[in-house]
Structure 1
Amino acid sequence: MTRPLTASDRQRLRTPAYLWRALVPLLVVIGLLVLFTWPRGQVSDGVHVVDTKGPIATARQQAGFPLLAPTGLSSDWRATSTEFVPAGPDSAATFRIGYVSPNGQYAEFLEGGDAPDAVAAQYGPLSVDGTATIAGAVWQQYQTANSRRLLRRTVGKVTVVVTGSAPQAELEQLAASLR
Structure 2
Amino acid sequence: MRGRQTVRDMVLSLAVIGVLVAAIYIFIPHDDSGTAEKNAVQTVDTRVEIATARRAAPYPVAAPEGLPKTWRATSVSYRATEDGKGGAWHLGLLDPEEQYAAVEQSDAPAEKFIQDVTLGATRAKGEQAVGSKKWDRYKGEKYNALVREEPGVTTVVTGTAPYGRLAELAAALVAKKG
The answer, yes or no, to whether TM exceeds 0.5 is: yes
Is 2:108 the partner of 1:114? yes
1:45-124 residue pairs with structure 2 within 5 A? 45=38, 46-89=40-83, 91-122=85-116, 123-124=118-119
1:159 partner letter: T
In the other structure, the counterpart of 1:172 is 167
Is 2:139 the partner of 1:143? yes
User: Which is greater in Rg?
Assistant: 1
In the superposition, the TM-score normalised over structure 2's length comes to 0.71
Gaps of 5+ in 1: 1-42
- RMSD across aligned C-alpha pairs, in angstroms? 1.6
Q: Identity of paired residues, percent?
A: 32
Contact preservation (8 Å) 1:126, 1:143 = yes
In the other structure, the counterpart of 2:28 is none
Q: Distance in 2 between matches of 1:79 and 1:93?
A: 21
Q: Distance in 2 between matches of 1:127 and 1:53?
A: 32
Contact preservation (8 Å) 1:115, 1:157 = no
Shift of 1:83: 1.5
SS at match of 2:173: coil
SS at match of 2:78: strand
Gaps of 5+ in 2: 1-34
The structure carrying a bigger strand percent of its residues is 2
Q: Deviations over 1:29-64 (max 9, x none)?
A: xxxxxxxxxxxxxx6522300011100000001111
Say which is worse superposed, 111-120 or 100-109, in terms of deviation: 111-120
Contact preservation (8 Å) 2:119, 2:142 = no
Report the count of equivalent residues: 136
Contact preservation (8 Å) 2:130, 2:170 = yes
Q: Distance in 2 between matches of 1:74 and 1:171?
A: 14
